[in-house]
Structure 1
Amino acid sequence: MTLHRVRQLKIVDDVLNERDAQDAIFGTQDLPNGTGPHYEPEAVMYADAYRESCEQAFRDGLGTFRHVFLEEVFEAMAEADPAKLRAELIQAIAVGVKWVEAIDRAAEVEA
């Protein structure tokens, strides 16, 4: 198994442990999604703004994980369709994992 995969599995394990802790505190929660324009009328505007901010930052050579992550999160917040929302959330989670991988790699270099 590659170091890359080992790092990813550790992150996923950390996420699953956090989920177990959340369930221990709050129990199973079946809350409304709370996404889409009917919950937040400005949701699409925010998603468009974060998408443009991300694209501009990368055009300027200043793109960061923050830009990419917020773009994905706000795209999810703008989505009302459950299947599309799921896809957007998976993208946001994947960017979050990628970001944590970069943090872990930097920590390994510093150690």
Structure 2
Amino acid sequence: MSGRSRVLSIVAEIVGERARQDEKWGEPHEVPNGTGPGVTFPGGDTFLELRDEIQAIVDAAAPFGASRMSWVLLEEVFEALAESDDARLREELIQVAAVAAKWVQIIDARAEGS
């Protein structure tokens, strides 16, 4: 399966999962974002501090090819959580979705042996 076909297949799975979520919980409605640079995670760190910490880890590992998809996904998640502006938050959430889809693509390729 080509890279583009894999991505389209993953997107179809995401669409199916969203439909299942709506069946279970109903259509999306107004829920507070709960994001922003000063919002504190239960452990006491702010999302901004956590973003900076994971970015430093990813940046330090990348030149050595030592990064991990888990770290990259966490970096994107904490970048999103540190945003308070809806437009920037939306951009970051699209990046989260793209990294998650890439990770699924890597897992699928590994399973296919390619």
TM-score, normalised via structure 1 length: 0.90
The more displaced of 65-74 and 52-61 is: 52-61
1:51: Cα distance to partner?
Answer: 0.6
Structure 2 unaligned blocks of 5 or more:
none
Structure 1 unaligned blocks of 5 or more:
none
Structure 2 partner of 1:42: 46
More helix by share: 1
| Number of residue pairs aligned between Structure 1 and Structure 2 | 109
- 2:94 aligned residue (90, 93, 96): 90
- Give percent identity, aligned residues only: 42
1:58: Cα distance to partner?
Answer: 1.7
- 1:104 aligned residue (86, 99, 108): 108
TM-score, normalised via structure 2 length: 0.88
Structure 2 partner of 1:4: 3
1:61: Cα distance to partner?
Answer: 3.1
Structure 2 partner of 1:13: 12
Whichever residue aligns with residue 36 of structure 1, its letter is G
Report 1:16-27 matches (<5 A): 16-27=15-26
Q: Which runs of 4+ in 1 moved over 2 A?
A: 37-41
